[in-house]
Amino acid sequence: MMSTPQLLPSNVYAIILAGGSGTRFWPKSRHNRPKQLCQIGDSDWTMIELTLRRLDGLVPPERRIIVTHIDQLEATRAITKSLCGHFLAEPCAKNTANALALAALEVETMAKRDGVAEPIILSLHADALIKRIDVFNETIQSMIASAQKDHLTLLGITPEYPETGYGYIEKGPTLPGLSLTYKVSSFREKPDAKLAAQYIETKRFLWNSGIFAWKVSTILGELKIFVPESVSALVQALGTRKSFQDLSASDFASVYNSLQSIAIDLAVLEKSQKVSVVEADIGWKDVGSWDALTQNFSTDDQGNLFYGEVINIDSTGTTVDSDAKVLACIGLKDMIVVCSEGAILVCPRDRAQDVKFIVENLKKRGRTELI
């Protein structure tokens, strides 16, 4: 039986980063309906709904903030409804350092308004799968405890196999008084298969989940050191307003367009001396492309995964996701077939990472209605 999650302290605010385009899930994922707004696999909920529902019992909706793209705001509101009480709409994509700086400043103003001291942010991406919810809840508690000690705290996943599609975190020495928490020794980019295997053998490396916890004061302090221009521009734009939502769309776009596009890892985490990591096996997977579905959902005896009205004859290792009246396949082997709103994708499973190039091709052709 799943235990009841323990409510996090009232100074904890949850940030859900939901501005990605999910180009590797084309044609089901589109610009105005990206992957996080889609039902992926056999779930009855979209990925962003799953992310928000994991916070039930931890952080109430009024302390949840979704950061998304302005073009996706209305669709995101319509799907999430009462699951989230606050939204920030980026005028353009400027990567995670700016999205998190924006969120930190917004939380700072919310906390002042509510009389909350030392606000803490728990930041999650909207498009990950987590199967071990009990362990996830316990790990979040450990991350908050670490954040309270002024650490920029990451959630590192105990690796199951030598994955080449994830970034890795190298564990340093343990931090006293904190459960399974380590100083971060280094960050490593996505390795090749040989190097990934070496990482696993050492037992020093963890998958980087992109889930963070930190005090607002700590992250803003580090952002001011490493990307001062971004913080300064956003602080000036906010002025005495109570929310970035009070800015006119044109003024906000003018400021945000001027920011340097940079990821939080590169901007801050790889440089700061305040970074820690909590290790856990929460059943986490970043479902980045169509070929990843078979790692997360049950296949039939022939390794097939079918969603929609599918007629299959003698196919093996094939994933089909279709909204057509009927899709029939015969003798396919290790293929991906997706039919969504009149667009069709057919590719070998081992070329699933290349689907993003189709989106690039469509952009060059000016076929914006298909992306």
CA distance 205 to 355: 29
Determine phi and psi for 58, rounding to 5 degrees.
-105, -55
Q: Is 243 exposed, middle or buried (0-12, 13-18, 19+ CB in 10 A)?
A: middle
pLDDT digit string, tens, across residues 207-243: 999 999 999 999 999 999 999 999 999 999 999 999 9
Q: Tell me the β-bridge partners of 155.
A: 278
Amino acid of residue 38: C
Domains of the chain listed by start with CATH number: 12-286 (3.90.550.10), 290-370 (no CATH)
Q: For 107-157, write each residue's pLDDT tens digit.
A: 999 999 999 999 999 999 998 999 999 999 999 999 999 999 999 999 999
Q: How many CB atoms lie within 10 A of CB 238?
A: 20
In the numeric block, which tokens belong to residue 204? 């020093």
pLDDT, residue 2, reads 57
Summary mean pLDDT of the chain: 94
pLDDT per residue as tens digits for the range 88-102: 999 999 999 999 999
Q: Residue 170 corresponds to which amino acid?
A: E
Task: Give pLDDT, residue 157.
Answer: 97
pLDDT exceeds 90 at position 4? no
Q: What's the CA gap between 184 and 202, in Å, rounded?
A: 15
Pairing of strands 343-348, 284-286: unpaired
Radius of gyration, CA atoms only, the chain: 21
177-192 average pLDDT score: 94
- The count of residues in the chain is 371
| Six token digits for residue 57 | 């019992």
Helix 95-114 to helix 228-238 angle (10° resolution) is: 40
- Bridge-based pairing state of the strands 310-313 and 327-330: parallel
Rounded CA-CA distance 39/112 in Å is 37
pLDDT greater than 90 at residue 3 = no
Query: Which pLDDT value is given to residue 19?
Result: 83
Phi, psi of 264 (to 5 degrees): -65, -35
The model's confidence at residue 22, banded by pLDDT at 50, 70 and 90, is confident
Phi/psi for 307 (5° steps) reads -130, 130
CA angle 163, 157, 212 (to 5 degrees): 120
- Answer for the pair 339, 327: CB distance below 8 angstroms, yes or no: yes
Is 286 a residue whose pLDDT tops 90? no
Residue 236: burial class (beta carbons within 10 Å; 0-12, 13-18, 19+): exposed
Which positions ≥6 away from 218 have C-beta within 8 Å?
Answer: 147, 150, 151, 152, 274
Q: Please tell me the predicted confidence (pLDDT) of residue 134.
A: 96
